[in-house]
Amino acid sequence: MTKNILSDDILYRLKYCQKKHVSSRKSLSGNWKTNIGSSIIQQIEMTDRYRLWIDEVSQIFGGLDICAIEVIKSINGKEYIIKINDCTMQLLKETQEEDCQSIAELIMHQMQIYCRPDQEISILTRIPSFDELPKLPQNNNLKIHQNGNIRQSSNTTDVRQKKKKNYFPFS
């Protein structure tokens, strides 16, 4: 049934990494599911609609610095998002070198912010140890007071005292 509504040759790939890119993938075999190695990739214009989509996806998932969306176009012209990737997106041969350079620059920029040896470790730059984790409530009856502190109105369970379950019966 989907073969009757989907265009055989148009799959758009929207990428975001410091700069925004759009690539149109047209398969040589006449099937949108064709392997990327046997398809033709052309750069196309980044429309306001595509820019909105990629920005929204980035924000929905916590402000991703790197992400990609794959969109397929139906025979009647409607576009459907079929896939969303974070940094695990595929780097296409034609723009691979530029993409790798952008990713390297982004990593260096983030490291300069969060891995500075001249600054003390802060709560933003380290993961708390298990002993520092807060006690978890047994239910969600929490009250927020004017001073911004969250106080519990019910019993608590200390995660550290819970018995560990063996999820691997063969070990």
Q: What residues does each domain of the chain span?
A: 2-93, 130-156
Paired with 85 in beta bridges are 68
Q: What is the pLDDT of residues 151-167, one digit of tens each?
A: 444 444 444 444 444 44
Q: Which residue has the tokens 């920029």?
A: 109
SS (H, E, C) the chain: CHHHHEEEEEEEEEEEECEEEEEEEEECCCCCCCCHHHEEEEECCCCHHHHHHHHHHHHHCCCCCEEEEEEEEECCCCEEEEEEECCCCCCCHHHHHHHHHHHHHHHHHHHHHHCCCCCCCCCCCCCCCHHHCCCEECCCCEEECCCCCEEECCCEECHHHCCCCCCCCCC
pLDDT confidence tier of residue 103, bands split at 50, 70 and 90:
confident
Instruction: Give the mean model confidence (pLDDT) for residues 135-159.
Output: 47
pLDDT value at position 112?
83
CA distance 68 to 14: 5
pLDDT tens column, 63-91: 888 888 988 888 888 888 989 998 888 88
Phi, psi of 89 (to 5 degrees): -65, 155
- Between 128 and 154, the more confident residue is 128
What digits encode the pLDDT tens for the residues 52-61?
Answer: 998 899 889 8
Average pLDDT over residues 44-57: 87
pLDDT for position 84: 92
Instruction: Give dist(CA 51, CA 62) in Å, integer.
Output: 17
Q: How confident is the model at residue 12 (pLDDT cuts 50, 70, 90)?
A: confident
Span 2-93: which CATH code? 3.30.470.20
Say yes or no to pLDDT of 11 above 60. yes
Phi, psi of 93 (to 5 degrees): -55, -45
User: Of 109, 108, 70, 73, whose CA–CA distance to 92 is shortest?
Assistant: 70
